[in-house]
Amino acid sequence: SNSASPDPEVPILDGSAAQFARVIAGNVKLSHPETRLPIVKVIKPIFIEDKAETGATAELLPLDAEEGIDISKMLVVSISLDSYNNKLPARNIERYTFDSLQTWINEVGQARTFVFESEVESLRRNNLGIGGSLRNCVVYDDVSNSSPGGKVKVLNRQGLRNTDEWLWHKLLDVYGDLSLIRPLGILNAHFRAFRPGHSINNQVLHALENNKDSFVIL
């Protein structure tokens, strides 16, 4: 890791999960019976709202409670993001499902973490983002190029890897955060969130674990 922090960190590499996913795919027999985990099936809705801080909401819903969703999918994700005070266009992803590892890498896994230029100084003052650079992070120039239209310039010379890369990275964060339930098994639910982030994602998992009647282990 490039970090000077005393706490152990996973290396940031290029700011995405693509390299990790490719290594795992090449070394793990994903379909081997002995590697299969139990299924944590959500049977009652769980809802969390962050009223004081970000206004974010997150919920876990039973898949078979919604029409039009293939309940054989382990996890369905729907996220909605506003415009970060008109810095980025409001966007949403509806009912995303994992179909194949290569597709997931191309759409989600390669999306890099992002930051606004106006946040960089504060992050470094608080010993955060150590090792971050244009090589491993998308930096949006909201200092000199912000506009009421919701568009800001990307400082990275090579631009974005795909349209709305920041949105896809938020989806990547959801997958990473929800995977923390793995000691229990694989999550089977529809996760829906407005302004998802590590905090609200983590809170909804804790709420699930604290409400034993909201899920069953299969």
How far apart, in whole angstroms, are the C-alpha atoms of residue 28 and residue 34? 12
From 169, 190, 198, 206, the catalytic residue: 198
DSSP class of residue 166 equals: H
At what angle are helices 198-210 and 165-178 packed, to 10 degrees?
Answer: 30
> CA distances (Å), 62 to each of 9, 27, 40, in order?
34, 33, 11
Q: Which residues on adjacent β-strands are paired with residue 60?
A: 46, 191
Selection from 213, 215, 194, 217 nearest residue 48 by Cα: 194
Q: Are 15 and 133 in contact (CB under 8 A)?
A: no
How far apart, in whole angstroms, are the C-alpha atoms of residue 77 and residue 176? 12
Is 190 catalytic? The answer is no
The catalytic residue positions are 198
